[in-house]
Structure 1
Amino acid sequence: MTLNWTSKSYNALALNELYSLLQLRSEVFVVEQNCAFQDIDGQDEAAYHLLGRTDDGQLAAYARLFDAGKCYEQVSIGRVVVSPAFRRFSFGRQLMNQAIAECEALFGPQPIKIGAQYYLRAFYQSLGFVQQGDIYLEDDIEHIYMLRA
C-alpha cells in the first residue's frame, strides 16, 4: 500500500484536514503514549503539514515541517506520527523519506534537525540522522536531538 502525499501551509489546510491531523496527534501522543501535554503548541501556524492519505482518504501518516529559524536554527521535522491502524504497513520510513524530500523542495538542501524519542534512535540513524548531545526528558519521555547533514 502506498500513500498519497500533500504538503500544505497552515492557512491552506481545510478544516477537516486540520481536525484529522489534530485527532491523530492526540490519539498517539496524548492517549496512546499516556502523556498529558499541550500538543497544540502555537507552532502549527509556522509549519508546513505533510499528510499521507490512503486511497480512500484516511489520514495514515503525518509530520510538521519547519524552515530554519522557526523551531530550531536548522530546518526541522516534528510531530512524526503514523496512525496505529496503519502501522503494519511500515509507513514510518515512507513518511520520513517524504518529509526529507519535502523539506528539500520547500527550503532547499540543508541540514535537518529533529527531537526524536530515544527508542527510535536506530530508525532515524538508518535515515542518515546522527545523535547530537545527551538524552533529555520531554514530557517524561526520553528524547535526543539528531541532525541529518
Structure 2
Amino acid sequence: WLNILAELLQFGDREFYKDWWNARTFEEYWRMWNMPVHKWMVRHCYFPCLRNGVPKGIAVLIAFLISAIFHELCIAVPCHMFRLWAFLGIMFQVPLVVITNFIQRKFQNSMVGNMIFWFIFSIFGQPMCVLLYYHDLMNWKNRSN
C-alpha cells in the first residue's frame, strides 16, 4: 500500500521498510522498521548530538526519548488520556538493544536473537501496551458514567 500511495503522490523515496521481521536484535529492528522516520531521527537528532560532543550512548538515548514522547502523544491525544505506557514501552527498548546485541555477539550465526525479538515483540511489547491502554480507557469511561 505504501508504494501505491508513493506512486500516486509521486514520492521519490520508496524505501519505507526493510525486512524487519528478520531482525536479530532490537537495534536491527529499529534500523529497518520505519525507514523515513529512522532517517529523520538520525539526521535531525542523532547526528546533531554527535556533532555537539554528546557521547554515542547518550545520543541514542536522546533519540529514543524523542521517539517515546511522540509515541505517547500519538496515543494520549486521540484517547484523551496520558498514561505513559507507550513512553515506557519505547524507553524499555534501550536496555533491550543492549541485551539483544550481547546475545547476538554470543550466538553469532544463529537466529536466537530473532526468536527473542519475536517473543518480546509479540508477547510483552505491543499486546501488553494495547491491553494496558484498553484497561485504563475502560476504567476511565466507567468512572465517567
More helix by share: 2
Asked whether the two chains share a fold, i.e. TM above 0.5, the reply is no
Which of the two has higher C-alpha Rg?
2
In the superposition, the TM-score normalised over structure 2's length comes to 0.31
TM-score (normalised: structure 1): 0.31
The structure with the greater share of residues assigned to strand is 1
Q: Relative contact order (C-alpha < 8 Å, sep 6+): which is higher?
A: 2
